[in-house]
Amino acid sequence: MKKLTIIGLLAAIVIACILLIRYHDKVATERDQAFRERLSGTWSREEDNLPRRAGFARSITWTNTVAADGSFVELSWFRHSYRTNTYQRTGTWFVKNGHLIETIKTSTNPSEVTPYSEVGRIVNSDATGFAVRWQHSTNEMAWQRVTK
């Protein structure tokens, strides 16, 4: 009788775990799909007052125009005290399991080697923007919606 009770309890625990995992996957899939649908449009990000080091930009502005399929064209302006460098990148943004997978296919920045991909966790999002924490970084990069 004790063995039967223990086996029944273990079976119930296993079934509950399986159901929780399936529910989590369903919720994650729905959340990813909703985020993908909001992703197309124009996004902007800025970093001002960067640490002053020789040859480094004092501020950077990015504008990223994302199509419905996740492909994008990004323009960036690196402002130095004596010049502004403008670059263009193309690639894709893909959302999976709460992560943003960014693949850079081309870049006009001569110091950037392409193609490459980065993965970041989407730490928050709403109708006006979202923030990503990239792997190997503790900083969050916040993007603001410019247009839909």
Continuous segment of H or E residues that includes residue 45: strand 41-47
Residue 73 lies in a domain: yes
64-73 pLDDT, tens per residue?
999 999 999 9
CATH number of the domain that 45 lies in? 2.40.128.280
- The tally of domains found in the chain comes to 1
Residue 38 CA to residue 16 CA, distance in Å, equals 33
**137 within some domain:** yes
Q: Note the pLDDT tens digit of each residue in 98-122.
A: 899 999 999 999 999 999 999 999 9
Domain residues for the domain of 122 are 37-147
Per-residue pLDDT reduced to its tens digit, 77-100 = 999 888 899 999 999 999 988 899
Task: Name the average pLDDT for the chain.
Answer: 87
Helices (H) and strands (E) in the chain, counts: 1, 8
Q: Which one, of 84, 86, 95, 89, lies nearest residue 64 by Cα?
A: 89
Residue 13 in domain? no
Quote the pTM value.
0.75
Q: Is 53 helix (H, G, I), strand (E, B) or coil?
A: coil
> Is 70 in contact with 96 (CB distance < 8 Å)?
no
127 occurs within a structural domain: yes
Separation between Cα atoms, residue 119 and residue 102, nearest integer Å:
6
Tell me, yes or no, whether 9 lies in a domain: no
